[in-house]
Structures are given as structure tokens and as C-alpha cells.
Amino acid sequence: MVVGVQEQRQVDRLFHSLADATRRDIVTRTMGREHSVSELAGSYPMSFAAVQKHVAVLERAELVTKRRQGREQLVRANIDAIRCMYRLLDELESQWLDRLDRFAHVLADDLDRRPD
């Protein structure tokens, strides 16, 4: 997998944003429908400002979008970005499975060459 600097930064933002359980939960909650930041804040044992910061991290990673409706900010998961993340994870899994398979072949060849 060859990615440019910009793409690598985006991948880093994706993994960073999903490294936190609260942010993963926010993405999950907002996949089904929009939630206001206030509504999300009521779901966690932290301040409104802390939830806003979590949403901002997700927004920078493009995993959620925010829109204003009156006084509320509504958050929704960005399904296209989530699909991109799945493709990236599938590619990484494929690379690691290929490496493990090659490693298994090296070990098998080594065992075949050992005298009894």
C-alpha cells in the first residue's frame, strides 16, 4: 500500500480518532440518525465541552459531519469515510495475512532442511 503524505495524514487522523472508546461510540450512535451535541453529551459522564472536543476530533478525521439547526449542532456519521476505513482495514489485514503466510513458508522450509 503506497500512500502519499496527505493520505497518510488522513489515515493517522482516522486511527487517532477511533483510538478512543467515546469517539467510537459517538460514530456508532450517529450512524443510525443525527444527534445533537447536547444529546450526545447527556450520554457520557463528562462535560459538554469534552464531548464537543471528541466530536471535533471525529470531524477533523471526516468520520462525522456537523450541521447547525437553530441553536443546535447536529452530528451524523459520514458513511463514505467509514466505508473508506473498512477498505483500509481490509487492505491492512490482507497485507498482514500475506506476511504471516510467507513467514509460515519460511519456517516450514527451515524445518524441512533440518536434519533429523
- The pLDDT of residue 22 is 98
> Is 64:27 a contact under the CB 8 Å cutoff?
yes
Q: How far is CA 20 from the centre of its chain?
A: 10
Angle at 18 between CA 25 and CA 82, to 5 degrees: 85
Q: pLDDT band for position 116 (50/70/90)?
A: low
Q: pLDDT band for position 3 (50/70/90)?
A: low
Q: Which long-range contacts (CB under 8 A, 24 or more apart) does 3-11 make?
A: 10/61, 10/62, 11/88
Domains of the chain (ranges; CATH) run 5-113 (1.10.10.10)
User: Greatest CA separation found in the chain?
Assistant: 78
> Does the structure show a pLDDT above 80 at 54?
yes
Q: What is the model's pTM?
A: 0.77
Mean pLDDT value across the chain:
90
Report, as an integer, the average pLDDT of 40-60.
Answer: 97
